[in-house]
């Protein structure tokens, strides 16, 4: 044991055309510790990990394993060095069993490559018991919960005798209870001598489980601290570089008439046989921001699809400004005053290979201003696009003719928001509008949403970010397993209480406003 460090990344620099993704970053992981890697989106965490797994070769810097310099050319090299990773998006084959996924790539096989799974199954069960993972090796991945899938990923590393375990944002998809269990599993692993790198931007979790924490900001290395010596505020300041005031400035709301009335809405699930949304009932009034909060995968996506018409309802009723739109086609809902900032801007929000101006008129191209006798009125489209680009400060290489694909995520999102807000809706449905954006863009978008409220629009915000929920909304509805389990006042509640609702540990019978 030459070194106290299991793995060291020393002075790593990685450049891409136009940006320095990693600028002289040093990360040293001690044997048997849980080490957090903290940073915002775009701070350079993923690039650093890609370097560790040999997906990118750094321009400068070295990697040491147990004090010895090593060269990592591809993920196989990393695996051979005992480095394993639980990716944010699991690398599991859905139609395989847990066992098949675990042995994939290191299959025990006899003559003619015939699989011999018995020993492997025994070993998996052993490991599963040893670390308290409780995974059934014969279950199909598509049938088990996200938490179980994550444990399968952990078992994959353990089965390969990996010593260095990397967890990439592992809690994003988990319920609070599952998060607690994961923390316990990580402690068990540490007790067995595994070294753990825990990538996260959630301060509470880092404080709860990590021994040390390294912080990155905008590609630069900020420092490494013992979590016992610092407070959450300290870490936060290191992460964002200033004591940001996340709080959104806004006046009290003055709710007016009911704009949206949803009654007993039920939507089928695409992945399982049950309904994903089960009898949801609520109202949104003019001049208020109502937020649907909850952990990812509790029916929010299906709820939005049902509300906006992307999926049919199994049961229930939707009324927009007194007009029943339960079975109305998408276009009719849009024309009736519903705007929708979609969750996935690449899947739904934009035609990436259209020019910016074509994307900007995506919801209005059929109006008389832009179409006459079936022909597009190009000059009007150009003029309108230029107006919105100016007004909403959408930055792009070539203005209206820029391909949407070539724009940055933040500007793509701005284009969508400009388009949806400018069509002057009575109801704005915004689903995770700030996902994957930097702090500046987030502030901008929050201001726009509040401005819409102040202009007397009804706003329905669907968000997974607890801070966003608490700061922006006037009223919070918590969704758990497809049901509204609580209605909270953001001024009176706190993250802990919300967490209980989100995890299904607490529930009210929400008053039916019908």
Partner 1 sequence: MQKSPNRESLLRKPGFQTLLASLLCIVLGLLVGFIALLIINPSGAGEAIMDIMRNFLNYSKRTTQIKNLGNTLVKTAPLLMCSLSVLFAYKVGLFNIGAAGQYVAGAGACIYCAVGLGLPWFVCMLASILAGAVVGAVSGALKAYRNVNEVISCIMLNWISLYLVNTLLSGVKNPTSPYTYSVTKKLVTVDGVQQVVDHPQALLPQLGIQGLFNNNKYVGLALPLAILLAVCIWVLLSKTRLGYELRATGLNKNAAKYCGMQDRHNIVLTMAIAGGLAGIGASMLYLTGFEDWSVTQSSVPGMGFNGIAAAFLGGLNPIASIFSSFFIQHITDGGAQLDKQVYPAEISSLISSLIIYFCGFVLFFKTSLNRWLDRRGEKPLTDKGGKA
Partner 2 sequence: MILLIQYTLVFTSVLMLVALGGCFSEHSGVINIGLEGIMVFGALGGALVMKYLPVGLPGFLFFIICVCAAMLAGILYSLLLAVAAIDFKADQTLVGTAMNLLGTAAATVIVKAINTAENPNNPSSTIQYIAAKKHFLFVDGYEFNWFMVLAVILLILSTVILYRTRFGLRLMACGEHPQAADSVGINVRKMRYAGVIISGLLGGLGGLVYITAGVSEWKFENGVAGFGFLALAVMIFGGWKPTKIALAALLFGLFRSLSNVYTGFGFLNSLNLPSTVYNMLPYIISLIVLVLFSANSAAPKAEGIPYDKGSR
Are the C-beta atoms of residues 112 and 118 closer than 8 Å to each other?
A: no
Q: Which is nearer to partner 2, 115 or 330 (CB)?
A: 115
Which partner from the list partner 2, partner 1, none does 107 bind, CB cut-off 5 to 8 Å by kind? partner 2
Binding segment for partner 1 among 112-120, 135-143, 222-230, 353-361 (CB under 8 A)? 353-361
Nearest to 351 by CA among 415, 302, 301, 303: 415
Are the C-beta atoms of residues 256 and 426 closer than 8 Å to each other?
A: no
Q: Which is nearer to partner 2, 150 or 308 (CB)?
A: 150
Which strand (E) or helix (H) includes residue 11? strand 5-16
- In the complex, the smallest distance separating the C-beta of residue 140 from partner 1, rounded to whole angstroms, is 23
- In the complex, the smallest distance separating the C-beta of residue 105 from partner 2, rounded to whole angstroms, is 3
Binding of partner 1 by 449 (CB under 8 A):
no
Binding of partner 1 by 474 (CB under 8 A):
no
Q: How far apart are CA 266 and CA 162, in angstroms?
A: 45
Q: Which is nearer to partner 1, 333 or 453 (CB)?
A: 333
Q: Which is nearer to partner 1, 17 or 113 (CB)?
A: 17
Give the number of other CB atoms < 10 A from CB of residue 17: 4
Place of tokens 């699989």: 115
Q: Which is nearer to partner 1, 76 or 406 (CB)?
A: 406
Binding segment for partner 1 among 222-230, 372-380, 387-395, 499-507 (CB under 8 A)? 372-380
Burial class (CB in 10 A: 0-12, 13-18, 19+), 209: buried
First to last CA, the chain: 69
Are the C-beta atoms of residues 374 and 349 closer than 8 Å to each other?
A: no
Contact residues for partner 2, defined by CB under 8 A: 55, 75-76, 79, 87, 91-96, 100-101, 103-107, 109, 112-115, 156
**Number of residues this chain uses to bind partner 1 (CB under 8 A):** 29
Q: How far apart are CA 180 and CA 149, in angstroms?
A: 16
Binding of partner 1 by 375 (CB under 8 A):
yes
Are the C-beta atoms of residues 451 and 478 closer than 8 Å to each other?
A: no
Which partner from the list partner 1, partner 2, none does 94 bind, CB cut-off 5 to 8 Å by kind? partner 2
Q: Which is nearer to partner 2, 103 or 313 (CB)?
A: 103
Selected binder of partner 1 within 190, 348, 382, 506 (CB under 8 A): 348
- In the complex, the smallest distance separating the C-beta of residue 37 from partner 1, rounded to whole angstroms, is 31
Which partner from the list partner 1, partner 2, none does 104 bind, CB cut-off 5 to 8 Å by kind? partner 2
Reading the block at residue 410, the tokens are: 């933040």
Q: Which residues of 80-110 are buried (b: 16+ CB within 10 A; e: fewer)?
A: ebbbbbbeeebebeeebbbbbbbbeeeeeee
Which partner from the list partner 1, partner 2, none does 79 bind, CB cut-off 5 to 8 Å by kind? partner 2
- In the complex, the smallest distance separating the C-beta of residue 488 from partner 1, rounded to whole angstroms, is 30
Binding of partner 1 by 374 (CB under 8 A):
yes
Q: What is the CA radius of gyration of the chain?
A: 25
Binding of partner 1 by 310 (CB under 8 A):
yes
Binding of partner 1 by 340 (CB under 8 A):
yes
Q: Which is nearer to partner 2, 94 or 367 (CB)?
A: 94
Nearest to 151 by CA among 164, 163, 173: 173
Q: How far apart are CA 204 and CA 452, in angstroms?
A: 32
Which partner from the list partner 1, partner 2, none does 376 bind, CB cut-off 5 to 8 Å by kind? partner 1
Are the C-beta atoms of residues 178 and 206 closer than 8 Å to each other?
A: no
Binding of partner 1 by 306 (CB under 8 A):
no
Which partner from the list partner 2, partner 1, none does 340 bind, CB cut-off 5 to 8 Å by kind? partner 1
Are the C-beta atoms of residues 213 and 34 closer than 8 Å to each other?
A: no
Selected binder of partner 1 within 97, 227, 355, 363 (CB under 8 A): 363
Q: Sheet of 68-70: strands edge to edge?
A: 68-70, 60-65, 5-16, 19-30, 220-226, 212-217, 34-38, 195-200, 164-168, 83-86
Q: How far apart are CA 420 and CA 430, in angstroms?
A: 10
Site for partner 1, rule CB under 8 A = 17, 308-310, 329-334, 340, 342, 347-354, 358, 362-363, 365-366, 371, 374-376
């Amino acid at each position: 044991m030459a070194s106290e460090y299991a793995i060291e990344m020393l002075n790593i620099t990685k450049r891409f055309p136009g940006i320095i993704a990693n600028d002289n970053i040093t990360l040293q992981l001690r044997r048997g510790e849980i080490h957090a890697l903290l940073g915002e989106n775009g701070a350079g965490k993923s690039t650093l990990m890609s370097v560790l797994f040999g997906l990118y070769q750094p321009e400068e810097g070295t990697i040491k394993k147990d004090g010895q310099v090593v060269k990592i050319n591809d993920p196989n090299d990393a695996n051979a060095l005992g480095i394993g990773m639980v990716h944010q998006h699991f690398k599991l084959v859905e139609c395989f069993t847990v066992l098949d996924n675990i042995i994939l790539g290191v299959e025990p096989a006899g003559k003619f490559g015939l699989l011999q799974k018995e020993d492997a199954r025994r070993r998996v069960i052993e490991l599963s018991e040893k670390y308290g993972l409780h995974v059934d090796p014969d279950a199909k991945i598509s049938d088990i919960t996200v938490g179980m899938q994550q444990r399968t990923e952990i078992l994959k590393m353990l089965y390969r005798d990996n010593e260095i375990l990397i967890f990439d944002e592992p809690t994003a998809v988990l319920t609070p209870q599952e998060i607690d269990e994961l923390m316990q599993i990580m402690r068990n692993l540490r007790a067995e001598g595994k070294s753990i790198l825990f990538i996260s931007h959630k301060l509470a979790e880092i404080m709860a489980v990590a021994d040390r924490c390294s912080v990155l900001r905008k590609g630069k290395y900020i420092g490494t601290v013992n979590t016992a010596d610092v407070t959450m505020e300290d870490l936060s300041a290191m992460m964002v570089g200033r004591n940001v005031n996340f709080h959104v400035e806004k006046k009290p709301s003055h709710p007016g008439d009911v704009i949206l009335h949803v009654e007993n809405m039920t939507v089928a699930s695409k992945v399982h046989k049950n309904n994903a949304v089960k009898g949801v009932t609520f109202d949104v009034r003019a001049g208020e921001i109502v937020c649907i909060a909850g952990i990812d995968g509790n029916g929010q996506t299906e709820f939005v699809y049902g509300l906006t018409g992307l999926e049919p309802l199994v049961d229930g009723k939707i009324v927009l400004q007194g007009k029943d739109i339960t079975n109305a086609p998408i276009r009719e809902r849009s024309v009736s005053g519903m705007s929708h900032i979609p969750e996935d801007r690449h899947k739904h929000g934009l035609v990436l290979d259209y020019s910016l101006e074509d994307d900007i008129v995506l919801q209005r191209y059929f109006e008389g201003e832009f179409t006459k006798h079936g022909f597009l009125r190009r000059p009007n489209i150009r003029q309108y696009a230029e107006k919105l680009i100016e007004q909403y400060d959408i930055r792009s290489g070539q203005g209206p003719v820029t391909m949407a694909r070539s724009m940055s995520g933040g500007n793509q999102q701005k284009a969508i928001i400009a388009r949806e807000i400018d069509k002057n809706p009575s109801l704005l449905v915004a689903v995770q509008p700030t996902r994957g954006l930097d702090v500046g863009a987030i502030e901008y978008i929050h201001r726009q949403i509040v401005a819409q409220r102040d202009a007397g629009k009804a706003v329905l915000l669907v968000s997974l970010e607890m801070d966003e929920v608490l700061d922006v909304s006037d009223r919070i509805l918590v969704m758990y397993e497809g049901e509204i389990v609580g209605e909270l006042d953001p001024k009176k509640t706190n993250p802990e209480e919300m967490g209980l609702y989100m995890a299904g540990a607490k529930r009210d019978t929400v008053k039916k406003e019908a």
